[in-house]
Every structure is written in C-alpha cells, then in structure tokens.
Amino acid sequence: MRQRASVCAFFLLAAIGAASQCAQAANLTVNCDKHESIRKALHLLATTNPQGPNMITVSGSCKGNFVIQSMDRLTLITRKGASITDRSHGSLAVLDIEDSHSVTVQGFTINGGAQGILCSTASVCYLTGNTIQGPGHFGVNVVRGSPRLS
C-alpha cells in the first residue's frame, strides 16, 4: 500500500510540475528585417501556451497577413515602430483576431489589407498607439460578438 501511495504522490508532483511549466509567460522577439517570422512565433505560442500570458516584441518591416485564433493574454508590441504590410492585395485583414481574449496590439504601422485589424468571433482586443494606413474597407473592424471598447 505504501508503494502505491508513493507512486501516486510521484505522479501528482509530476502533474503539478507540468502544469506550472504551462502557466509561465513566453516572451519572443521577432526581427522581420532579419527574415524572422511573426507567423512562426504565433504558431509556436498557439501550440505550446495558447492561454498565455505571452508577448511577441516585433521590429522591422514585416509583410504578411496574420491570424491570431483561440489565444488568450497575448501582447504583440513594437518598441521601434515596426510595420506590417498586407500581402493579400487587399483581400484579407492584415491582423485577423478570432476567438481570442485579451489580445493587445501596440505601436505598429499597419499598411493595406481589406481591414487593418479585424477583431471577431467574441474576441477582446486592445489596440494602443497603432497607425493604420490604406485599408480597403475598414481600419479596424469589430464584429460577431466582440465588444467595442473605448
């Protein structure tokens, strides 16, 4: 019986240790001028720690259309005025945030896209100090159950 209790205690401690590893924040840095990828950073966080908290600090001139889906407590921030430019020729949002809570986008220049930022499907998005230039339809579009925060 003691051996059984010891084995159970071991597995309980291992489970607690694994859970505490998942709860730690991840901080990643992406420099688009050095061909590093926001998409890869988002994919890594989505597979390893989608509940966050997570931070991606971006620098340089980035090109692409990015989907942030089912991620919570994510901060996408720039300290040096990074830009993200549409690659879809105006058919997609530059940043598409879906089914995510407490996503912060701060300090970017966002160029083009059907929307600069789309906050959709009951997402909660915090947008601070961004410049959105030349979107096809909306600079920021908040739809499908996402609250409009002032």
Domain assignment of residue 78, yes or no: yes
* DSSP 8-state secondary structure symbol assigned to residue 22: H
**Residue 11 confidence class, pLDDT cut points 50, 70, 90:** very low
Domain assignment of residue 124, yes or no: yes
User: How many Å separate Cα 73 from the centre of its chain?
Assistant: 8
Q: How many domains does the chain have?
A: 1
Domain assignment of residue 57, yes or no: yes
pLDDT at 144: 76
pLDDT at 80: 87
Domain assignment of residue 6, yes or no: no
**Residue 137 confidence class, pLDDT cut points 50, 70, 90:** confident
Lowest-confidence segment of 10-19, 63-72, 109-118 by average pLDDT = 10-19
**Residue 124 confidence class, pLDDT cut points 50, 70, 90:** very high
